[in-house]
Amino acid sequence: MKQSLKSALIKKFSKIELNESQLTQLIDTDLADVGRSYNPVVKQLLVCCSIVLMLVFGNYSYQSYSAHNLLDSIANEMVNNHLKQKPLEVKSDDISIVLNYFTELDFNPLRVSGITGVNGDQLLGARYCSIKGVTAAQFRIRNADGTLASLYQGVLPEKQLNLIPKLKSGEQGSVHNIKGVKVEIWRNKGVVFVSVASHD
């Protein structure tokens, strides 16, 4: 079975032990002279530290790049969906009726302020849609200022879900401005939310 780089590194460097003399020599070594040192233990430790730092930094950079790409892709997909204004499959301002319509989802859509009308917004209805190829719910809302908005709810695979920002009280999700509309993406209770609304 092929061994991962991480496992190979742990196996190799876990066997390295320093006796008291070697430890004293390492502590007393002038860092400027380390590169010229012929002590194999010091060289191995330096190589190990360099590799670990590269792996940690590389993994962090990859995750940041992946999260940016995923969020940007979701924002563009949901804006395009919102602008098409496809016909609603269930028309009602009664949140219970609308939520009960979604029987083919792998999760129960959540009651959130954007679709309950507590801010003066009016729920118009909903329809099935998708987020990154996964079946989701789209709620259409008429904001208090008369503009139309969409709120999407869906569940993504765990690897993608973990890249979506999880909000704490008072925080804002990942905000994007695309084609004249504002998009905010966040997750809560394992559900991805995407809010798409026209600019004020």
What pLDDT, on the 0 to 100 scale, is given for residue 56? Answer: 46
What pLDDT, on the 0 to 100 scale, is given for residue 74? Answer: 94
What pLDDT, on the 0 to 100 scale, is given for residue 111? Answer: 87
What pLDDT, on the 0 to 100 scale, is given for residue 185? Answer: 94
Is 0.75 topped by the overall pTM? no
Measured CA to CA, the distance from residue 97 to residue 91 in angstroms comes to 9
What pLDDT, on the 0 to 100 scale, is given for residue 43? Answer: 60
What pLDDT, on the 0 to 100 scale, is given for residue 3? Answer: 52
Phi, psi of 38, deg, nearest 5: -105, 5
Question: What are 199's two structure tokens?
Answer: 């600019």
What pLDDT, on the 0 to 100 scale, is given for residue 102? Answer: 96
Containing H/E element for 181? Answer: strand 181-188
Cα 172-181-188 angle, rounded to 5 deg? 30
pLDDT per residue as tens, the chain (200 positions): 445 555 555 555 555 555 666 656 655 555 445 555 555 655 666 655 555 555 444 444 344 447 788 999 999 999 999 999 999 999 999 999 999 999 999 999 998 876 766 677 899 999 999 999 999 999 999 988 888 999 999 999 999 999 998 877 667 788 999 988 899 999 999 999 999 987 54
What pLDDT, on the 0 to 100 scale, is given for residue 173? Answer: 84
